[in-house]
């Protein structure tokens, strides 16, 4: 059932994000061609440059917005009646939303990489792009194992932080739903308070380990990996408690 929930949410998000990504690819191609053929002056170029930058930023904003909207509509609005009528636990609903958000975060990253690739091919040449990737692969082959292991740890930490951030946004949305008025303002306020509290906690941890507040690289890797997991669990438990015990769809 978890797979079906993820598939349903994915299709629902596709209706909104696919047109945005198609427009982003088209604008990237047009903008790159205009630069390629030195058509980089005048009012028309300014319009396409503005649209291209707006599409880049808009795709990121839209991904975050529709991820939060999908959670709110699917579990906190009228659609919640149908969702909670299914033979699925509240925890499974939350897990499906989190996985769906992570999937779309990766899709967003892939789309940005695709745009860079298109710009590289159009503005340069396929041979130059192929040579660049070949040099990158050769460079990775020359990197020591310790460095690659360090890069891998950074990637894992970033992924864990991303999961924790998604869980925090969902928890803030659920907290805002508890109040009849100013739900969005309360959700944002909760988000800010938690971020400040977490920053204070991190500073205390740094002090206990004898490092400055910004010495992330010197703190034990286990701490940097464990904290996002702990916070993600706490946020998810809070979300589960609200949806399972305090949800009011009236």
Domain edge (last residue) among 89, 119, 141:
141
Contact 10, 100 (CB under 8 A): yes
Based on the fold, state whether residues 27 and 130 are members of the same structural domain. yes
Based on the fold, state whether residues 135 and 149 are members of the same structural domain. no
Q: What gap in Å lies between CA 200 and CA 4, rounded to an integer? A: 40
Residue-range definition of the domain harbouring residue 205: 143-250
What per-residue confidence (pLDDT) applies to 125? 62
Per-residue pLDDT of the chain (250 residues), as tens digits, is 888 899 988 988 998 899 999 999 999 999 888 887 777 677 788 888 899 899 989 999 999 999 999 999 889 888 888 888 888 899 999 999 999 999 999 999 999 989 888 888 887 666 666 666 666 656 655 556 666 677 788 888 889 999 999 999 999 999 998 887 888 899 999 999 999 998 888 777 767 665 554 444 445 667 778 889 999 999 999 999 999 888 877 5
Based on the fold, state whether residues 24 and 136 are members of the same structural domain. yes
Phi first, then psi, for residue 239 (nearest 5°) are -60, -45
**Does residue 182 come out as left (phi exceeding 0), alpha (psi in the -120 to 50 range) or beta?**
left
Structure tokens at 107: 């899709």
What per-residue confidence (pLDDT) applies to 232? 93
Based on the fold, state whether residues 67 and 119 are members of the same structural domain. yes
pTM over 0.75: yes
Based on the fold, state whether residues 116 and 41 are members of the same structural domain. yes
Based on the fold, state whether residues 121 and 179 are members of the same structural domain. no
Based on the fold, state whether residues 115 and 147 are members of the same structural domain. no
Domain edge (last residue) among 86, 107, 141:
141
Q: What gap in Å lies between CA 123 and CA 31, rounded to an integer? A: 10
Based on the fold, state whether residues 74 and 155 are members of the same structural domain. no
Based on the fold, state whether residues 149 and 191 are members of the same structural domain. yes
Q: What is the largest CA-CA distance in the chain?
A: 62
Contact 80, 74 (CB under 8 A): yes
């Amino acid at each position: 059932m978890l797979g079906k929930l993820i598939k349903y949410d994915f299709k629902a998000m596709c209706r909104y994000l696919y047109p945005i990504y198609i427009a982003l690819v088209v604008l990237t191609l047009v903008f790159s061609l205009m630069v390629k053929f030195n058509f980089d002056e005048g009012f028309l170029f300014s319009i396409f440059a503005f649209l291209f930058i707006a599409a880049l930023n808009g795709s990121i904003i839209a991904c975050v917005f529709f991820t939060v909207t999908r959670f709110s509509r699917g579990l906190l609005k009228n659609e919640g009646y149908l969702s909670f009528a299914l033979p699925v636990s509240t925890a499974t609903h939350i897990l499906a939303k989190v996985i769906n958000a992570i999937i779309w975060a990766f899709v967003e990253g892939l789309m940005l990489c695709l745009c860079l690739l298109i710009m590289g091919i159009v503005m340069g040449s396929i041979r130059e792009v192929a040579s660049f990737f070949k040099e990158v692969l050769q460079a990775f082959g020359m990197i020591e194992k310790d460095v690659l292991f360090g890069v891998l740890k950074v990637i894992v930490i970033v992924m864990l932080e991303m999961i924790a951030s998604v869980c925090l946004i969902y928890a803030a949305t659920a907290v805002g739903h508890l109040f009849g008025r100013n739900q969005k303002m309360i959700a944002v306020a909760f988000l800010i308070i938690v971020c400040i509290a977490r920053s204070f906690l991190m500073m205390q941890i740094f002090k206990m380990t004898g490092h400055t507040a910004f010495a992330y690289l010197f703190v034990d890797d286990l701490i940097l990996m464990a904290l996002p997991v702990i916070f993600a669990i706490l946020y998810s438990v809070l979300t589960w408690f609200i949806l399972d015990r305090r949800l009011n769809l009236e």
